Chains A and B, each alone.
Chain A
């Protein structure tokens, strides 16, 4: 087994922290991501990630834990997007695009100032593309608390959110406070993006949010199962990515650790490709019994 798990893999402190943080973050991203994909808000998720980038690089410049910057940026971005209005999709699209451009510009400035002051050139890499091996052990409890908060919000709004994802009018007619539910969901999304930024970097955080959820929606037809599948898929991708990155030290020509984020994103991408394969789709449909039924009825 030594050629799979390099000596020292399990006893390495950074590896243990990476596996713990990665698994927690995967569960949060899976639960929130299913709704993000279902509501067609991938772009909103990505925009929050860009605002989180600005927050994270600001935190780096100020010398505080980037996680706080990621989360603060995401929450501020979510609030701003919510204020731009729920109904006017086109106007919001435009405003969101402009805000995210400005955020990345701000991040460029913060990272430039931060690296010239402290001459740590790894900061840009860490904020933008993540470095889960450098997460401090003391961050794990904070990650756990924010994750519990995010999951609690999702448990709270689960039903009204599902109903308003089907139809806003139907939910409103049923007495759902659509805006309150939407705002709480955006808060959960901001938390998920912030946590995911810590694991695989702000720029890549959307991959962890969207990818496993998209895979899960292909394979399951009940929302609970979709959340579970997305969480497990994401956790699997992160743990495998951590392992491959750890091993990369030995086989890479320069004897350097390749970025974990690279492996995680590639694994998620390959997983998505697999669910696109015709025979996988057919098998999933047969197990799910829905597409097959529809085909029989001649649609």
Chain B
């Protein structure tokens, strides 16, 4: 069984150690620790307001923690860390914004640099290759603001990946997508984690769409976290300890439901396809 606060193991791509954050007097994160490994898909799961975005901002260095530290490849993270790619929760772009999908991907190469870039064949090829990797070729020349949510996610993923990061952070990438687009994005990320041997940390309020690909889970509730392999964390006793009251984990046709209250009152029939719990 996973303990509620396992420290990050040495050799982890990303180590979050005892991170606590208070914002305007409210405790958002309370002694959160976990690790992310190369080539693995880690789901950061929690309800709205559980502190997922704050945790990602701490990892990115956009938010200073009150306690704890973030290790990248075993060393404290530096301000300009090139080893992380980031896909924000949502971008609101006007359809009139003169920015094609391929331009946004190109900004992933050197968007932080001053001056005018020299157009080069190498640069164009790198962009084309990345657009191909995320299946975005068919809308590469469309304005980003005119793309659908799923298409924008692909472009943002390509933008984050073109700098060859070792770790990819995604904040609620499935939140505004229909089920099919969401599934496509998850499959794409799983493939990328595998092919590029990078760690993927993805936040979501629903764990079920991630179950087929998720290697490890970080479950956030009330500012605290439990982490480990999914079947070791998503258990009655671990989640009850995390929430501080009795919750039960049910599996229904391969889908996991977490409900409060004693088992008998939930009224759910036992499921023969029970896989994980």
Chain A residue with the shortest CB-CB distance to B104: A166
- Decide yes or no: A175 and B112 within 8 Å by CB, A162-B99, A220-B98, A222-B98 being known contacts: yes
List residues 274-299 of chain A with CB under 8 A from any CB of chain B: 288-291, 293-294, 297, 299
Closest chain-A Cβ to B98's Cβ sits at a distance in Å of 4
- Check if A99 is an interface residue, CB within 8 A of chain B: no
A289–B141 CB distance below 8 A: yes
Does the CB pair B91–A159 fall under 8 Å?
A: no
Contact of B146 among A160, A167, A170, A291 (CB under 8 A): A291
Within 8 A of B (CB), among A156-200: 156-160, 162-163, 165-167, 169-176
Residues of B within 8 A of A226 (CB): 98
**A92 near B: Cβ within 8 Å?**
no
Q: With an 8 A cutoff between CB atoms, is B148 at the interface?
A: yes
A175:B79 contact, CB within 8 angstroms = yes
Contact A223 B98 (CB under 8 A): yes
Q: How far is the CB of B123 from the nearest CB of chain A, in Å?
A: 13
Chain B nearest CB: distance from A19 CB in Å? 28
Q: Which of the residues B62, B95, B111, B143 comes within 8 Å of A163, measured between beta carbons?
A: B111
Shortest B146–chain A CB gap in Å is 5
Q: Chain B residues near A158 (CB, 8 Å)?
A: 115-116
Q: CB < 8 Å: which of B94, B107, B147 contacts A159? A: B107
Task: Classify the secondary structure of A's interface with B.
Answer: helix
B60 to chain A, nearest CB (A): 5
Query: Is B135 on the interface with A (CB-CB < 8 A)?
Result: no
A-contacting residues, B79-106, CB 8 Å: 79-82, 84, 86, 88, 91, 93-100, 103-104
A156 to B116, CA, bound (A): 7
Does A34 make an interface contact (CB < 8 A)?
A: yes
Distance of B34 from chain A, by nearest CB (Å): 20
Residues in B with CB closer than 8 Å to A109 are: none
Q: How large is the interface on B (under 10, 10 to 19, 20 to 34, 35 or more residues)?
A: 35 or more
Chain A residue, CB-CB nearest to B89: A169
- Contact of B117 with A by CB under 8 A: yes
Residues of B within 8 A of A165 (CB): 97
Q: Which residues of B contact A297 (CB under 8 A)?
A: 148
Given A160-B113, A290-B142: A167 and B99 interface contact (C-beta under 8 Å): no
Contact B111 A222 (CB under 8 A): no
Residue of A159, A176, A222 touching B100 (CB-CB under 8 A):
A222
Contact residues in A for B110 (Cβ distance below 8 Å)? 159
List residues of chain A with CB within 8 A of the CB of B60.
169, 172-173
Q: Which residues of B contact A170 (CB under 8 A)?
A: 86, 88, 91, 156, 159
B56 smallest CB distance to A (angstroms)? 9
Residues of B within 8 A of A222 (CB): 98, 100, 103
A72 beta carbon closer than 8 Å to chain B: no
Partner of A155, one of B93, B95, B115: B115
Q: Given A155-B115, A173-B62, A175-B79, are A163 and B98 neighbors across the interface (CB < 8 Å)?
A: no
Contact between chains at B143 and A221 (CB < 8 Å): yes
A294→B142 contact, CB < 8 A? yes
How far is B100's CA from A166's CA once the two chains are assembled, in angstroms?
A: 12
The interface residues of chain A lying within 8 Å CB-to-CB of B97 are 38, 165, 217
B245 at interface, CB cutoff 8 A: no
In the bound complex, CA of A226 to CA of B80 (Å): 31
Interface 0/1 of B41-79, CB less than 8 Å to A:
000000000000000010011100000000000000001
Interface: A249 (CB within 8 A): no
> Is A290 a contact partner of B143 (Cβ separation < 8 A)?
yes
The residue that B91 contacts in the complex, of A167, A174, A290, with Cβ under 8 A, is: A167
Residue of B110, B112, B156 with most partner-chain A CB within 10 A: B112
Given A173-B86, A293-B139, do A156 and B115 touch, yes or no (CB 8 Å)? yes
CB within 8 Å of A: which B113-140 residues? 113-117, 139
What's the Cα separation between A288 and B60 when bound, in Å? 36
Is A38 within 8 A of B112, CB to CB?
A: no
Which B231-266 residues have C-beta < 8 A from chain A? none
Q: Judging by beta carbons under 8 Å apart, are B88 and A169 in contact?
A: yes
Whether, in the assembled complex, A225 has its beta carbon less than 8 Å from a beta carbon of chain B, the answer is: yes
* B18 CB to nearest A CB, Å: 23
- Interface residue ranges, A against B (CB under 8 Å): 34, 37-38, 40, 155-160, 162-163, 165-167, 169-176, 216-218, 220-223, 225-226, 288-291, 293-294, 297, 299
Residues of chain B whose beta carbon lies under 8 Å from any beta carbon of chain A: 57, 60-62, 79-82, 84, 86, 88, 91, 93-100, 103-104, 107, 110-117, 139, 141-144, 146-148, 156, 159
- Apart from A34-B98, A159-B113, what are 12 other A-B pairs with CB-CB below 8 Å? A37-B96, A156-B115, A158-B116, A159-B111, A159-B117, A165-B97, A173-B60, A175-B82, A175-B112, A217-B97, A221-B99, A223-B99
